[in-house]
Amino acid sequence: MTKLSTRERVLWYVAAAVIMLYALFPVAWIVSLSLKAPNDLTNQQFLPTDVSFENYEQILLGDARDLFLPALRNSVVVAGLATLLAVVLATFCAYAIARLDFPGKKLILASALGVSIFPVISLVTPLFNVWRTIGLYDTIPGLVIPYMALTLPLSIWVLSAFFREIPWELEQAAQMDGATTWQAFRRVIVPLAAPGVFTTAIIAFFIAWNDFVFGISLTSTNAARPVPAALAFFTGESQFVEPTGAVSAAAVVVTVPVVVLVLVFQRRIVSGLTSGAVKG
C-alpha cells in the first residue's frame, strides 16, 4: 500500500472538508430558517437574529398541527409497511435467485434493475385511474403497493448479491445434520445475511420515506397523505405570507428519523455495504 505524502494527505483533507461543507450547507440553512421568527425570515443573514421555536410550536402544537402530525403518522406507517413487505419478499426471491438454477433467472435480475430506474412519473396517471376505480385512492394500502414497486426491485438486486457470497457448504452441512431446507434457511442463511438484509431495509425505508410523487398524486386528504406531500399544503397566516419557517421546521423534524437511523446503525450499514454477508 502506497503511503501518502504530507501534501497529498492535506489535499485529501481539504477536498473532504469542501465536500462536507457543500453537502451540509443546505441542511444548516434549513435549520437556521426553522429557528427564525416570522418577522426575521426576511433577514438575509445566515444565523437568526434571535433563536425562536415558534415554527416548531406551529407544526406540533399550533395551526399546522392538524396537517403535519397526521402526515407524519402516515409516513411512518406507509414507509414501515413498504419496507417490511419489500425486505421479506426480496429475501425469499433473492435466495431463490442465488441458490437455484432455473430459466429466466438473469432476466428477473435485469427486470428488477430496469424497474428500479423506471421513471416514477410515468406510473402516476395509470395508477391514479386504477386506484380510483378499485377504491385504493387516498388509502394506506394505495400508497404501500406503489412504494413496494420502488423498494422491492432494488431490494431483490441488492440481496441477491449478498446471498451469492454465502458459502453453499454451510447450508449443506446444516441439512446433513438433519435440518430441513426451511430450518437451514432460517437458522443459518438469514443470520449470515443479516448485514445485507439490514442494509437493504435502510435503503428501502429511505426511498419510501422520501417519496413525493406518489404521495401527492395518490392522496387527496390527511387520511393517507405522507409528510413530503403534506409540506406542499402548508399555508401562512394569510395569502400574502409564505410558510417558509413552518416548512423548514417540518423538514427538520422529518429529517431527524433518517439522521438517527444512520448515526445509530452506521457501523452495520457500512459493514453490509462493504463486506456483504461473509468474507471468504
Q: Quote the CA–CA distance of 124 and 217 in Å, as a whole number.
A: 7
Model confidence pLDDT, tens digit, residues 132-157: 999 999 999 999 999 998 899 888 88
For residue 87, give the CATH number of its domain: 1.10.3720.10
The pTM (predicted TM-score) of the whole model is 0.81
Residue 158 placed within a domain: yes
Residue 34 domain flag: no
Q: Range of 163's domain? A: 65-275
Quote the CA–CA distance of 64 and 69 in Å, as a whole number: 8
H helices of 135-243, where?
140-165, 168-176, 181-184, 190-192, 194-210, 213-217, 227-230
Domain count, the chain: 1
3-class secondary-structure state, position 4: coil
> Could you tell me if residue 11 is inside a domain?
no
pLDDT at 52: 84
Q: Does the residue 71 lie in any domain?
A: yes
Residue 10 domain-assigned (yes or no): no
pLDDT at position 33: 87
In a domain, 28, yes or no: no
In a domain, 226, yes or no: yes
Q: Is residue 240 part of a domain?
A: yes
What is the model's pLDDT at position 272? 56
What is residue 268's predicted lDDT score, i.e. its pLDDT?
64
Model pLDDT, residue 279? 44
Please enumerate in sequence order all residues whose Cβ is within 8 A of that of 220, keeping only pairs 6 or more positions apart, or say none.
Answer: 137, 138
**Which parts of the chain sit beneath pLDDT 70?**
1-2, 236-241, 268-280
